[in-house]
Amino acid sequence: MHVKHERTPPVIGFIGTGHIATFHSKMLRRSGLDIVRGGCYDVDRARAEVFAQGSGSQVMDSEQQVIDSSDLVYICTWTSEHQRLVSMCIAAGKPYFCEKPLSTDFLSASQMDTEARNAQLTHQCGLILRRSPAYLWAKELIDDPAAGAPMAVVFRDDQFIPIQGHYKSTWRGDTERAGAGTLLEHSIHDVDMLRFLIGDIDAVSARATYRHQLPGIEDVVAASVQFANGAVGTLTTIWHDNLSRASLRHVEIFCERRTIVISGDDWFGPVTWTDADGASGSLQGDELLEKTHDMAVGHPNPDAAFVLAAIEKSPAYPDFAVALEAHRVVEAMYESARHNGASIDVAQIVAK
């Protein structure tokens, strides 16, 4: 007689319980997956208690307690803690989701990727825009042969500097914990999307400004990008003080016979396009979500994708190898900014 074995729901632990941990907790709830809320820890115990009350987690006294009592671990701390906590998860044999950026510098990010490869545990990085319906549909439009080859992309990203407002990430004003400013801490998403939409990046040049006068924390970066396929692009990322603009992106992609614009919401668009023959279209909201439902790698919900991959003990996406290539481009942009906008060959950026 065949006996059906019920799968035990995985216990999910959180280290770091701020804004981004709350986002992932809500995404897990929306996923509908059968999970158990495990332990949570934060250096600010009051913040952990607020998170626990909202999520159903249990406040614990240490990171190690969370890891030991969980099947899967979310690492949502400030950036400088990521490498240490990933190593703790690997030592305990626990799959882990690590927020972006991986670390404060390229060398540490490279070390984390090497350690993750060697451990072969399921792991995922928080580059969640790879599952955004808006960006998935834009990529579909770009890859359509009718569009012709991509020629240029103009990418603008702005938000109020997140040491204030609802982000409450005061640590992002401290290079010891954040590593750098808007390019690393925020627009590594954008660099990843430039690679996702258009392709590998050969060379960059960039300049940075420090209007907020926070040592080592740049608040504007303007970069030029040369893609391996011959396309060119610009990225402008800004941390300002306009609290009415929490996080807004505007992306224009020019192909030989199609122009595509991503605006409004990072997830739900709209995405609009116009072709050489005058045809045009626009998708947003539920219609966009339905159109792209099967385009994401794995589950369309990034947190469900991680949990399901961990249950199956299979690779998750995007992993640290994907994140490292975004780190490489970011480091090339910083190297350029340190040399007054000199052109930097991305391939020359190596761990040393």
**49-102 confidence digits (pLDDT tens):** 999 999 999 999 999 999 999 999 999 999 999 999 999 999 999 999 999 999
User: What is the residue-averaged pLDDT of the chain?
Assistant: 96
Whether 267 and 132 have beta carbons less than 8 Å apart is answered as: yes
pLDDT at 194: 98
Label the pairing between strands 201-209 and 344-345. Answer: antiparallel
Read off φ and ψ for residue 175, nearest 5 degrees.
Answer: -65, -25
Cα–Cα distance, 121 to 124 (Å, whole number): 10
Q: Give how far the C-alpha of residue 59 lies from the chain's centroid of Cα atoms, to the nearest Å.
A: 26
Kindly report the number of other CB atoms within 10 A of residue 21's CB atom.
24
> Rounded to whole angstroms, what are the CA distances from 269 to 48, 156, 253?
33, 15, 15
Average pLDDT of the segment spanning 252-269: 97
What is the rounded distance in angstroms from the CA atom of residue 231 to the CA atom of residue 254? Answer: 9
Residue-range domains of the chain with CATH: 11-128 (3.40.50.720), 131-296+319-344 (3.30.360.10)
Q: What is the mean pLDDT of residues 187-201?
A: 98
Q: What is the pLDDT of residue 73?
A: 98
Which comes out higher in pLDDT, residue 352 or 17? 17
Task: List Cβ neighbours of 126 (8 Å cut-off, separation of 6 or more).
Answer: 20, 97, 98, 99, 100, 302
Residue 300 pLDDT > 90: yes
What number is the average pLDDT over the span 114-139?
Answer: 98
**pLDDT-based confidence at residue 246 (cuts at 50, 70, 90):** confident
Rounded distance between C-alpha atoms, residue 239 and residue 232, angstroms: 24
Q: pLDDT-derived band of residue 261, with 50, 70 and 90 as boundaries?
A: very high
Confidence grade of residue 4 (pLDDT, cut at 50, 70, 90): very low
pLDDT band at 104 (very low <50, low <70, confident <90, very high): very high
Q: Which pLDDT does position 352 carry in this prediction?
A: 79
CA distances from 15 to 75, 85, 120, 126 (A): 5, 9, 21, 14
- Is pLDDT at 257 greater than 70 in this prediction? yes
- For residues 322-334, average pLDDT: 98
* pLDDT at res. 6: 64
Residue 331 has pLDDT above 50, yes or no: yes
123-135: average pLDDT: 98
Asked whether the predicted pLDDT for residue 126 surpasses 90, the reply is: yes
